[in-house]
Structure 1
Amino acid sequence: EEDITGTDLPAPPRGQDAAYVLYTSGSTGLPKGVVVEHHSLATLLAHHRDRLMGPAEADNHGRPLRVAHTAAMTFDASLDPLLWMIAGHELHMVNDLTRRDPEALTALLHDRAIDVVETTPSYLEQLRACGLFAPGRPRPRVLALGGEALPAPLWRDLAALTDVAVWNLYGPTETTVDSVMGRVLPGVRPHLGRPVAGARARILDHRMKPVAPGVTGELYLSGPGVARGYAGRSTATALRFLPDPYGVPGSRMYRTGDLVRQAEGRLEYLGRADGQIKIRGFRVETGEISSALESHEDIARSAVAVRSGSGAGAAQLVGWVVPAGHREVSPRELRAFVARRLPPHMVPSLIVPVPSLPLTSHGKVDFTALPAASPVDGSEQVGRAPRSSREEILCALFAESLEHDQVSPDDDFFELGGHSLLATRLIGRIRSAFGAELPVRALFESTTPAALAERLEHAESARPSLRRAGRMEQPPLSPAQERLWFLHQLDPGSAAYHMAFTVRLTGALDRDALRSALGDVLARHESLRTVVETVGGGPRQRILAPGDARPELPLVYVDEEHLDEALREAAAEPFDLTRDVPLRPVLFRSAADRNILL
């Protein structure tokens, strides 16, 4: 294992062409464009080929893996899947509507048997709820998580997935996507891991001096991944991109603002040292949101912070606003005002009017003294009753998603504490309830049950009408049938794949009724009355008519002493797949009122 500080490389040549520019949130209200050069991406690709892709390729016997591109191109995580493609793997592009919808995305990942998925921990929780790791369904071989801290409970759950390689990726946009990465393993505390190839991670105090192991300090990153700086923002660049006093001459380091400590040779994340926050994978400067709020003519001052969500769960952005005059601005109006200026993940879920902002002795906003931000509880509202069954069902679904007792038709989803992750979950429930094709953005445009009910009137049905499908006379074997047929040819007398179980029946038994009941089971399920025939040199299915597949149900008299042996012998009797249906019932009788059905 390399040392946590990583290794030094010569200072990269400056002035290369930029590979890309990505914009991040800015504290002044103006986004900052991070300029990343080609050599930074090339170095990251070389590291990922060795540490991330190499083991996955070996597990897949050298064959290319299917990689899903599930991130917006405005998010630096979108570059990781492109690196997989450059390394020779199969890239599956996911459109915006699908990637934003956890149910649709989970279905796509299953249908295409995707091997590599990268997402945020918050969104992974949505995918898990939609059955990403459901038994019997294809699951990814590699799962990469980044964009925000990985909670300890989720870490433990993922560490238990022995057939999935889970990686925790960390890296500000300013240090080229991934700077530090660690494998999620059982029995290990959540951590960021160790630096990627060529990178150095230093934990420094306020005097820029290294701290002792186990002591909290601010994380500084250096190496070839450090970006050129912020496009056209020399002052902002100088504040974050500093000369590296511990590196080779000419090298620089990036001040992340993240508080970490070194424990057992790994970096552990402890929070932020500045006004930046992470909300559902996005890095946000609260100052940019405050600037947007204060640009409203009726708002004098504002403060923004993250608060733990309502009973529904995830963290929420909360804004506190001080009115500028006598006109009271509704939270709904302010949310709409901010939404026209900032992306959805930066729009506060809750806006709380206050007469003034409490200050600390140093004149800064005292966030601990701000009033608790609680969404309007629909159960306390006096609202009209639903006018239709559609409105009634929608009100119930809103209340269930928000964990409220009740919601009225005119209650706003976001004013009640809803956010983007809950929106995707709610839309999924609405689709299931109404069988309608409804995009997630519909909830952002029609935020009340009443408005959404009108929208549903014109929504297309997501359920195609059922119709009888044609079928060839002797269809090919299914994969499961083909597997059994191969094993039957390989070892005709084997009972290795027999599934035997017994049911003890006490009392008087009507054997004819039992035989008829078992016959009904075979009649209902074609797979239980299917034999295999050779047609044209290959195996094909022959489905028997219900009347031709009635079970014999032989009766065997046996005493209790020899019962177990008789059951084992009967269970081991081989099947002839050319004539025997794959269900064989046998009745054992040890007394007139004691029967055992095998």
Structure 2
Amino acid sequence: AYVIYTSGSTGLPKGVAIAHRNVLALIDWSSRVYSADDLQGVLASTSICFDLSVWELFVTLSSGGFIVLARNALELPELADRDRVRLINTVPSAIAALQRSGQIPSSVRIINLAGEPLKQALVDTLYQQPGLQHVYDLYGPSEDTTYSTYTRREAGGQANIGRAISNTQSYILSPDLQPVPVSSAGELYLAGAGVTRGYLARPGLTAEKFVPNPFSSDGGRVYRTGDLTRYRADGVIEYIGRIDHQVKVRGFRIELGEIEARLVQQAAVREAFVLAQDGDNGQQLVAYIVPSETTEAIEAQAALRENIKAALKAHLPDYMVPAYLLFLEALPLTPNGKLDRKALPKVDAQQLQQVYVAPQSELEQQIAAIWADVLKLEQVGVTDNFFELGGDSIISIQVVSRARQAGIRFTPRDLFQYQTVQGLAAVAEQGEGGVQIDQGPVRGATALLPVQQWFFESPMSERHHWNQSVLLKPAQALRAEVVENALQALWVQHDALRLQFSQQADGWSARFT
């Protein structure tokens, strides 16, 4: 069981409470679609704060498969075991970045894509990948345990999200909970074993989104997705868009109203409107801001952007901080007083660039060239801000990867801290060296792991007899001192071998010696 948080429209994230049976339903469906052979080499690259990881980890390992672990999907080209990856499970924007750079291994047979609308053009391009057999489009909210519908997308086909997975029922309903005709748009409702308990400690919101199932006589519930969909004549579901002001950007579900609420809380902001806009690097958040005090000086606007973003980062995760902040004298309105979205100016990253200052050193020139290529700009100056040019967390990973290929080393954290070419060049390293990780021994007391708690709570008469052994016969005579040195080195390096357990008056405790 676990709780996973999604963005909330009031500035308060919602904790979705997922029970054991919900995950079992996901695993049961997956075992019907994916064979054990399909799961021999699943790229596990998603943060456990994002529910795609539930499929990568629980489904793969419970089905006899194995994972190839990475910090993110864009790190795939640098993995030593990249050619063992058979299945990639990620968001469309990440797979598109890998495809553009030609970094999808030929060993990949299946690609699962979820978290964002999957464009047919990307599907067609992926099927040109040598050895690729299947591209699956997977749809589902966290409230229905990761996936609710799926389809195998075909080259040259039409975009759709398929049909409900096993143990799940889908209904497309009108506002009065009546089924809509085929080809008519309505809100998608989901029922079945994957529907979760609701929102942690928020009974009112749970009652609003998890409603009684009008087609069930056993007291079941349906979850209101807020997604506008329609049935095709063949029973396949087509996704149209969000009913409310919620979007998905790079797999993250975001309430735009939450960002707007944080913006207008700042004294420097009088009005604000946020939307997700398509660009060369996928969808990016754009904030249109009417400042409390008008300023036309470029330097003053740059300082204001920096202050506003800093204030947002104090309350929101990085993926919810808009890549672009555009200042307007007033938000455009229609004759009836509503916001005129069509009149909002399009974003041009080059308009947000500082007065061009050419890179001087060879390192600055290399970093600027990488930024310009990844951000698709003609040129980048040493004082330009990476995030004001449209950079974000996923693009920053591409920059780090490209820099490593050129022998330049810095981390995504460095890029977030030093956001100009000039600042980044001051901390970047060059050469073949790598990051040195502290390998010193762990010492002192530690908490018992859940499996250790279970072990000591279980009735056992001779705990020290709970062990395993294997007899090895060497092919040639061994030198005792060499074996002893090797075992000593293992004992020092692997902290778990130095873990001691002792029973106290208040229970068992653990300590590294």
TM range (shorter): 0.7 to 0.9
Matched, 1:408 2:390: no
Question: Cα–Cα, structure 1 residues 396 and 93, in superposed 2: closer, same or farther, change >3 Å?
Answer: closer
Partner of 2:172: 203
Selected match of 1:240 from 202, 209, 215: 209
Relative to structure 1, the CA distance from residue 213 to residue 401 in structure 2 (aligned partners, 3 Å threshold; closer, same or farther) is same
Q: Distance in 2 between matches of 1:364 and 1:242?
A: 32
Work out the CA distance in 2 between the residues paired with 1:375 and 1:186: 33
Answer yes or no: is the 8 Å Cα contact 1:216–1:259 preserved in 2.
yes
SS of match in other structure, 1:377: helix
Q: Of residues 150, 156, 174 in structure 1, which corresponds to 2:143?
A: 174
Q: 1:165 to 1:279 in 2, by over 3 A?
A: same
3-state secondary structure, aligned to 1:27: coil
Distance in 2, Cα, partners of 1:109 & 1:205:
52
Q: Return the match for 1:348 from 322, 331, 338.
A: 322
Partners of 2:15 and 2:341 in 1: how far apart?
A: 30
Cα distance, 1:336–1:211 mapped onto 2, change above 3 Å: same
Structure 1 match to 2:69: 93
**1:68 counterpart (23, 33, 43):** 43
- Tell whether the 8 Å contact from 1:376 to 1:415 is kept in structure 2 after alignment: no
CA separation in 2, counterparts of 1:429 and 1:93? 20
Q: For residue 249 of structure 2, what is the amino acid of its counterpart?
A: I
What corresponds to 2:418 in structure 1? 446
SS in 1 for 2:116: coil
Please state how far the C-alpha of 1:449 moved relative to its aligned partner.
0.9
Q: CA deviation at 1:335?
A: 1.7
The whole-number CA distance in structure 2 between the counterparts of 1:107 and 1:342 is 30
Name the SS for the 2:386 alignment partner: coil
Equivalent residue, structure 1, for 2:229: 260
**Which among 259, 262, 279 is matched to residue 289 of structure 1?**
259
Distance in structure 2 (CA, Å) of the matches to 1:418 and 1:325: 27
RMSD after superposition: 2.4
**Offset of 1:35 from its aligned partner?**
0.8
Structure-1 residue corresponding to 2:462: none
Equivalent position amino acid for 2:95 in 1: L
TM superposition shift of 1:30: 0.8
Give the unaligned 5+ runs of structure 2. Answer: 296-300, 435-513
TM-superposed CA distance for 1:116, in Å, is: 2.2
Which of 144, 152, 157 is matched with 1:183 structurally? 152
- The residue that corresponds to 2:187 in the other structure is 218
Q: How does 1:3-14 map to 2 (within 5 A)?
A: none
Which secondary structure does the structure 2 equivalent of 1:33 belong to? strand
Give the conservation status (yes or no) of the 8 Å contact 1:66–1:116.
yes
CA distance in 2, matches of 1:397, 1:79: 34
Quick check: 2:120–2:157 contact (8 Å CA) kept in 1?
A: no
Question: What SS class does the counterpart of residue 330 from structure 1 fall into?
Answer: helix
What is the CA–CA distance in structure 2 between the aligned matches of 1:446 and 1:285, rounded to whole Å? 28
Tell me the equivalent position of 1:307. 277
- For the structure 1 residues 262 and 357, does the alpha-carbon distance in structure 2 shift closer, same or farther, using more than 3 Å as the test? same
Rate the CA distance shift 1:132–1:431 in 2: closer, same or farther, 3 A.
Answer: closer
Deviation (angstroms), 1:84: 1.5
Q: Deviations over 1:320-343 (max 9, x none)?
A: 122235687621221222123211
Offset from partner CA, 1:11-40 (integer Å, 9 cap, x none): xxxxxxxx1110000000110001111111
For residue 277 of structure 1, what is the aligned residue in structure 2? Answer: 247
Residue 322 of structure 1 aligns to which amino acid in structure 2? V
Give 1:454 shift.
0.5
Shift of 1:238: 2.1
Distance 1:131 1:65 in 2: 23
Give yes or no for contact 2:294–2:329 (8 Å, CA) kept in 1. no
**In the TM superposition, what is the alpha-carbon distance from 1:350 to its structure 2 partner?**
0.4
Deviation at 1:139, TM superposition (A): 2.0
Change (3 A) 1:397 1:45: closer
Give yes or no for contact 2:177–2:214 (8 Å, CA) kept in 1: no
User: What SS does the corresponding residue of 2:157 show, helix, strand or coil?
Assistant: coil
Structure 1, 229-238 or 413-422: larger mean CA deviation = 413-422
Q: Which AA in structure 2 matches 1:385?
A: A
1:78 and 2:53 equivalent?
A: yes
Residues 443-493 of structure 1: CA distance to partner in whole angstroms, max 9, x if unpaired? Answer: 22211111111112xx253369xxxxxxxxxxxxxxxxxxxxxxxxxxxxx
Kept in 2, the 8 Å contact 1:244–1:252? The answer is: yes
Q: What letter matches 1:397 in structure 2?
A: I
1:157 pairs with 2:130: no
Question: What is the CA–CA distance in structure 2 between the aligned matches of 1:419 and 1:367, rounded to whole Å?
Answer: 24
- Which residue of structure 2 lines up, in the alignment, with residue 49 of structure 1? 31
SS of residue matched to 2:225: strand
Question: Does residue 335 of structure 1 match 2:309?
Answer: yes
Whole-angstrom distance in 1 between the partners of 2:357 and 2:126: 45
In 2, Cα distance between equivalents of 1:431 and 1:448: 18
1:117 and 2:93 are equivalent in the alignment = no
Instruction: Give the distance between the partners of 2:64 and 2:85, measured in 1 at CA.
Output: 15
Does structure 2 retain, via aligned residues, the 8 Å contact 1:110–1:139?
A: no
Q: For 1:424, what is the secondary structure of its paired residue?
A: helix
Query: How far off is 1:360 after superposition?
Result: 5.1
Q: Counterparts of 1:75 and 1:21 in 2: how far apart (Å)?
A: 11
Mapped partners of 1:340, 1:376: distance in 2: 27
Q: Which residue of 2 aligns with 1:30?
A: 12
Alignment of 1:415-426 (within 5 A): 415-426=388-399
Please tell me whether the aligned partners of residues 181 and 194 of structure 1 are also in contact (alpha carbons under 8 angstroms).
yes
How much does 1:363 deviate? 5.7
Tell me the distance in 2 between the aligned counterparts of 1:160 and 1:105. 19
Letter in 2 for 1:115: R
1:462 aligns with 2:405: no
CA deviations over 1:537-582 (Å, ceiling 9, x no partner)? xxxxxxxxxxxxxxxxxxxxxxxxxxxxxxxxxxxxxxxxxxxxxx
Indicate if the aligned counterparts of 1:332 and 1:415 stay in contact, CA closer than 8 A. Answer: no
Output one character per residue of 1:255-276: Cα deviation in whole Å (capped at 9) or x when no partner.
Answer: 1111111122211111111110
How far residue 440 of structure 1 moved from its aligned partner, in angstroms, is 2.5
1:441 is paired with a residue of what secondary structure? helix
Structure 1 stretch 184-193 or stretch 445-454: which is displaced more? Answer: 184-193
Q: Per-residue displacement from partner, 1:403-426 (whole Å, max 9, x unpaired)? A: 323222111111122233332233
Counterpart of 2:206 in 1: which secondary structure?
helix
- Please report how far the alpha carbon of residue 381 of structure 1 lies from its aligned counterpart in structure 2 after TM superposition: 4.8
Normalising by structure 1, we get a TM-score of 0.67
Inter-partner Cα distance in structure 1 for 2:226 and 2:432: 46
Tell whether 2:107 aligns with 1:139.
Answer: yes
Q: Does 1:318 align with 2:308?
A: no
Which residue does 1:105 correspond to in 2? Answer: 76
Question: What is the number of equivalent residue pairs in this alignment?
Answer: 425
Answer whether contact 1:290 1:302 (CA < 8 A) is retained. yes
Alpha-carbon separation, structure 2, partners of 1:73 and 1:295: 31
Q: Aligned in 2, Cα 1:356/1:47: closer, same or farther, shift over 3 Å?
A: same
Q: Which amino acid aligns with 2:40?
A: L
Report if the CA contact (8 A) 2:150-2:163 is conserved: yes
Offset of 1:352 from its aligned partner?
1.3
**What secondary structure does 2:112 align onto?**
strand
Which residue matches 2:505? none
Report the Cα offset of residue 252 of structure 1. 0.9
* Cα distance, 1:240–1:375 mapped onto 2, change above 3 Å: same
CA distance in 2 between counterparts of 1:321 and 1:377 reads 16
Q: Secondary structure at the match of 2:349?
A: coil
Give the 3 Å change call, closer, same or farther, for CA 460–372 of structure 1 in structure 2: closer
Q: Distance in 1 between matches of 2:339 and 2:218?
A: 41
Q: CA separation in 2, counterparts of 1:301 and 1:276?
A: 19
Greater displacement, 196-205 / 27-36: 196-205
Counterpart in the other structure of 1:506: none
- Against the structure 1 CA distance between its residues 354 and 340, is the aligned structure 2 distance closer, same or farther, given a 3 Å change threshold? same
Aligned to 2:341: 367
Residue 21 of structure 1 corresponds to: 3
